[in-house]
Amino acid sequence: MKLHEYQAKQVFADAGIPTPPSTLAKTADGVVEAADEIGYPVAIKAQVQVGGRGKAGGIELVDDAEEAREAAESILGMDLKGLHVDSVLVEGAVDFVNELYLGITMDRGEGKPVAMVSTKGGVDIEQVAEEDPDAIVREHVDPAFGMFPYQARRAVFEAGVDREVATDVASVLRTLYQLWADNDATEAEINPLMVTADDEVIAADAVMNIDEDALFRQPDLVEMEDTSAGGDELEAKADEYGFDYVRLSGNVGIIGNGAGLVMTTLDLVDHYGGEPANFLDVGGGAKAERIANALDMVFSDENVDSVVFNIFGGITRGDEVAKGINSALEQFDEIPKPVVVRLAGTNWEEGMEILNEDLVTIEKTLEDAVQRSVEYAQEVDA
Ligand code: GDP
Ligand code: MN
């Protein structure tokens, strides 16, 4: 889950990292009012969850109310890299002499968090990472101990940050690491951390991405989630239904109970020359309603051309599943996409009898079921 810049900045500011004065606005009038209040010059910044807004025209610096209104009118409502801009952050512009980069992420190779510092911050940091990787200093952190002050100082000095601000930058870096850890972030980044002529450091941008699997213990952050922008509609639906769901690029919809079983089905679809459209695990003990919801999910994916159900009854009973499939499909005058079902385990025979063969294709083995669903999908494709 990505936070907006204004949200990440709030989290940073609450932890004591200096940020410019700012106000969120959704209308041109609101922008001018906020800008008048803050005092010119101000930066007007599109709040969309994507990097590189500056280069894409989503950030403007303005010197008076008239310019502020013009900028607001051009940025509000614009389409920025496919995302609709419905709010902007109005922020006191910083007069800077240097732009630094600070970032924390997980280094999977090392199995440790890594803090990164560069004096080549600003809009071209990706290019720096590619062309001049040595310009970014890395310091690994043992999560059991957190980031020691000496580690932060070492990284900052090695990166070549001016002595006058090194202590402050090191302190911001430690705070950033602590925020990364405390908030279950996958990334925390300040780019740029601006250095002013009188040696102040100010976070002019803020990025924080949160590990979705940790959201259950981050209730404050969940409240910040913006479900209106950027999120995949189907993934939002899956959240609502409580499914483990991943959208993939193929056209064979897959529903199963248990992650291993679904993975196996995915592999088999691939094995028989098909392409999975999704991973969807309805979980154990799936009752009729959950089955109907799962079907609703795959049917509303326009890429899906056929559906294969792979259910192994343990806690989940075959007859319950069969009822769910029937009741979900009976709602349609015409079944939107062909559905193939394979039932095994608890009450599979009862389930097979209950299933309405006018609505679904029944196969006894998993191999046959998968092959049939791949054929159906290929027929649609042809
Ligand atoms: P991003 O392009 O989405 O990463 O957005 P940033 O917030 O990093 O802004 C991009 C660039 O705009 C910065 O590197 C600065 O050069 C410039 N910028 C942003 N805010 C200010 C500001 O308050 N004052 C000045 N002078 N420039 C700014
Ligand atoms: Mn930035």
Q: Which residue has the tokens 């592999």?
A: 267
Ordered by start, the domain boundaries in the chain are 21-92, 96-222, 233-377
- Residue 60 a catalytic site member: no
312/329 Cα distance (integer angstroms) = 20
- What is the value of pTM for the model shown? 0.71
Provide the pLDDT confidence category of residue 286 given band limits of 50, 70 and 90: low
Give the residue, by CA position, lying nearest to ligand 1 atom 16. 122
pLDDT in tens, 3-31: 999 999 999 999 999 999 999 999 999 99
pLDDT in tens, 341-360: 999 999 999 999 999 999 99
- Residue 40 a catalytic site member: no
pLDDT of 168: 98
What is the arithmetic mean of pLDDT over 292-308? 92
**Is there an atom of ligand 1 within 6 Å of 122 CB?**
yes
Q: Is the domain defined by 21-92 classed in CATH 3.90.1640.30? A: no
Picking from 376, 380, 349, 379, the residue whose alpha carbon sits closest to that of residue 360 is 376
139/227 Cα distance (integer angstroms) = 35
Is 284 one of the annotated binding-site residues? no
Provide the pLDDT confidence category of residue 82 given band limits of 50, 70 and 90: confident
Ligand 2 center–CA 48 separation, angstroms: 12
Ligand 1 center–CA 192 separation, angstroms: 7
| CA of 98, nearest ligand number | 1
pLDDT of 333: 87
Picking from 313, 321, 359, the residue whose alpha carbon sits closest to that of residue 340 is 359
Q: Above pLDDT 70, what percent of the chain?
A: 97
Q: Which two tokens stand for residue 326?
A: 């029937």
Which entry of 67, 139, 189, 363 is annotated as an active-site residue? 189
What is the arithmetic mean of pLDDT over 279-293? 84
Picking from 370, 248, 381, the residue whose alpha carbon sits closest to that of residue 309 is 370
Provide the pLDDT confidence category of residue 122 given band limits of 50, 70 and 90: very high
Is a pLDDT exceeding 70 seen at residue 109?
yes
Ligand 1 pocket test: pick from 59, 196, 202 the residue with the most ligand atoms within 8 Å of its Cβ. Answer: 59
**CA angle at residue 254 from 248 to 260, to 5 degrees?**
95
First to last CA, the chain: 38
Largest distance between two CA atoms of the chain = 80
Strands (E) across 150-284 are located at 185-196, 201-203, 207-210, 244-247, 252-256, 278-281
Give the residue, by CA position, lying nearest to ligand 1 atom 14. 122
What CATH number should be reported for the domain whose range is 233-377?
3.40.50.261
Give the residue, by CA position, lying nearest to ligand 1 atom 8. 205
pLDDT of 249: 87
pLDDT of 160: 97
pLDDT of 228: 61
Residues in contact with 369: Cβ distance below 8 Å, sequence separation at least 6, in sequence order: 308, 309, 310, 340, 341, 342, 363
What CATH number should be reported for the domain whose range is 96-222?
3.30.470.20
Ligand 1 pocket test: pick from 126, 205, 209 the residue with the most ligand atoms within 8 Å of its Cβ. Answer: 205
pLDDT in tens, 225-266: 876 644 567 888 888 888 889 989 899 999 998 899 999 999
Amino acid type, 44: I
Is 314 one of the annotated binding-site residues? yes
